[in-house]
Amino acid sequence: MADLTDGRGAVKRRIGTRLWLAGGWLTLLLLAAVFAPLVAPQDPLAQDLFLTRLPPFWEKGAEAGYWLGTDSLGRDVLSRVIYGARLALVVALVAGSITCIIGSALGLMAGFLRGWVDLVISRLIDIWMAFPPVLFSILLIAVIGPGLHSIILAIVIIDWTRFARVVRAEAMAQGAMDYVASAQVAGRGRIGTMLREILPNVLPTIVVLLTLEMGIAVIVEAILSFVNLSISTDDPTWGGMIAEGRASVYQAWWVLVFPLITLFLTVLAFSQLGEGLKDRFDPVLR
């Protein structure tokens, strides 16, 4: 019994550590993005051809005030990484939330109402998932034009099926439970049962999916920026910085490495936050 208690305690500590680390990084990134004009050491758009490809502060030839060096146009890498976090987090929060609302609503209706509603939504999901997501997003941006709204719209159009499929399965499982039958016997209508009985029990799964979707949204935005289909090329984006750094990786490796590390840590943080929340909501571990 003591071994079982110790094992549960160790699992809870690992979950707590995972949540703290992921939440800490995302909080730090959010604060840096919100207060970018205050914390960024330089103007991210300012160019100085006399300061091109300066190395980070610990290498020989570094310049004071340019902590992570400069790119081929003399722009400060640290400032551009900080300002790039603004776009990444806006896309993650807005696109993730809209995708969550649309996909969860459709999945909830399909899984609980069943019948023709489930048939129509399920066939729509099957058709939508036949398109390769990355190519589909590039095609959408090419048609509707680059820009923040276009990126968000492309992510929503592509990824709503992820929520719809999972929430549909969860709603079907919850709909077979005795408490749902009891609510209907007590006189509660189908819509009331779906919103007051099914939704609260599916909500933990939706929250986990939302955090994972935010990480996916960050990746999609970086891919579109990498192929120059995001916002204006002058505005700092992590994908754009990676694309620029790839061309000069042997002369100025820091232009590629620092935005790549930031992107990796951000996506990893969203993923670990989702995994930690999934474990925290797990009734067996709880």
Query: Of all residues in the chain, what percent carry a pLDDT higher than 90?
Result: 43
For 23, the token pair is 């939440």
Please state the domain count of the chain.
1
**CATH code where residue 261 lies:** 1.10.3720.10
Cβ neighbours of 18 (radius 10 Å)? 18
Query: For residue 233, what are the domain limits?
Result: 17-36+77-267+274-281
Say which residues have a Cβ less than 8 Å from residue 236's Cβ, sequence separation at least 6. Answer: 44, 45, 79, 80, 81, 83, 84, 87
Whether residue 208 lies inside any domain: the answer is yes
* Bridge partners for 76 per DSSP: 70
Residue 239 lies in a domain: yes
Which ranges of the chain would DSSP assign to H, the alpha helix?
2-34, 36-39, 77-113, 115-128, 133-144, 148-175, 178-185, 190-193, 199-226, 238-247, 253-281
Q: What is the pLDDT of residue 233?
A: 65
pTM, to two decimals: 0.87
> What is the predicted pLDDT for the residue at 186?
80
pLDDT value for 285 = 52
Q: How far is CA 15 from the centre of its chain?
A: 20
Residue 225 forms part of a structural domain: yes
- Decide if 50 is inside a domain: no
Domain membership of residue 44 (yes or no) is no
Question: Environment class of residue 218 by beta-carbon count within 10 Å: exposed (0-12), middle (13-18) or buried (19+)?
Answer: buried
Residue 55 forms part of a structural domain = no
Per-residue pLDDT of 220-251, as tens digits, reads 899 888 888 777 667 899 999 999 999 888 88
Asked if residue 243 is part of any domain, the answer here is yes
For 165-205, how does the pLDDT look when each residue is reduced to its tens digit (9 = 90+)?
999 999 988 888 887 878 777 877 788 888 888 888 888 88
Tell me what pLDDT residue 146 has.
Answer: 80
**pLDDT, average across residues 100-123:** 91
pLDDT by residue (tens digit) across 118-141? 999 999 998 888 888 777 877 888
Per residue in 142-166, pLDDT (tens digit) is: 788 888 888 898 889 888 998 999 9
Per-residue pLDDT at 103 exceeds 90: yes
Q: Tell me how far apart the alpha carbons of residues 182 and 47 are, in angstroms, rounded to a whole number.
A: 68
Q: Is residue 155 part of a domain?
A: yes
Return mean pLDDT, the chain: 86
